[in-house]
Amino acid sequence: MTVIIFVLIRLIPGDPARVIAGLTATEEDVALIRVELGLDRPMYVQYGIFLSRLMRGDLGLSAATRAPVIEEIRSRMNATVTLAISSITLATVVGMAAGIVSATRQYSALDYAVMSVALFGVSIPVFWLGLMLMLLFSVYLHWLPAGGFGGPAHFVLPTVALSAFSVAIIARMTRSSLLETFNQDYVRTAHAKGMQRSAVILRHALKNALIPILTVIGLQFGALLGGAILTETTFAWPGIGRLLVSAIGSRDYPVIQGIVFMFALLFAVVNLAVDLLYAYVDPRIHYG
């Protein structure tokens, strides 16, 4: 991951030293900044320095502000993680509920309506949805703030915009997983015993359909961190995604490397947690 991050960032067009120095800087000024940032060294030497610092928990200094990158990330991490958690919570609750309703009424008008909305959620760009929500609820109705970070009202529009894609994915996966379990012998046996339909669905069918649903939820949490880049830019949210956009514009290599690495690390940790949850959901799974 560190190799991919390091190489791809340096394929971005533009000279960081020139961007930092400004349009009126002389070639000597640009050369001095390039030496100060270590950009005059061979790429493998730069990578070795980056890797050795990373092993010590040091992500370097921002080329633009000269502040430690880890502090820049820490100051904005709370806003991004809070938005991602609220979005995945909304996506899980709404998506699973929609998937259960759709699966229990297969091929009905309600099923087709839910899946059509899910298809719309998968297809719609998050930034366009965010702009439309702002136009409706902030400009026309004046119900919610258009952007910024503050009280609970500021969370509503970014959370809805960011979770739309995940709601659709979770709903479709819940529906397909439930339809598979509905045909299993233990579900038919539960129905034959006269159990209530809701109990059969929740205690037997849904519990055994949770493994693929949990997998999708874990993957979607990682996708929400990536999607937060567009959402934070649209809603002026002071999170890591907005910092990343700013760093790309200024060609701030250390900040870009640090943020992308933190995203990758969070994604890996979340998926590890999901894997460990498998053993709790399904007792047949054991980790030796």
CB proximity list for 37: less than 8 A, separation 6 or greater: 16, 17, 20, 63, 253
| Whether 177 contacts 96, CB under 8 Å | no
Q: What is the pLDDT of residues 4-19, one digit of tens each?
A: 888 888 887 777 777 7
- Going by C-alpha positions, the residue among 239, 230, 284, 195 that lies closest to residue 85 is 239
- How far is residue 246's CA from residue 148's CA, in Å, rounded to a whole number? 16
Whether 230 shows a pLDDT value over 70: the answer reads yes
Q: What is the pLDDT of residues 232-285, one digit of tens each?
A: 888 888 888 888 888 888 788 888 888 888 888 888 888 888 888 877 776 666
Predicted local distance difference test score (pLDDT) of residue 283:
65
Domain boundaries, the chain: 2-55, 76-281
CATH 1.10.3720.10 fits 76-281, yes or no: yes
Q: What is the pLDDT of residues 125-157, one digit of tens each?
A: 888 888 999 999 988 988 888 887 778 888 899
Between 151 and 166, the more confident residue is: 166
| Whether 97 contacts 194, CB under 8 Å | no
Question: What DSSP character marks residue 184?
Answer: S
What mean pLDDT comes out for the span 26-38?
81
- How far is residue 128's CA from residue 220's CA, in Å, rounded to a whole number? 19
Position 40: which residue type? D
Position 143: which residue type? W
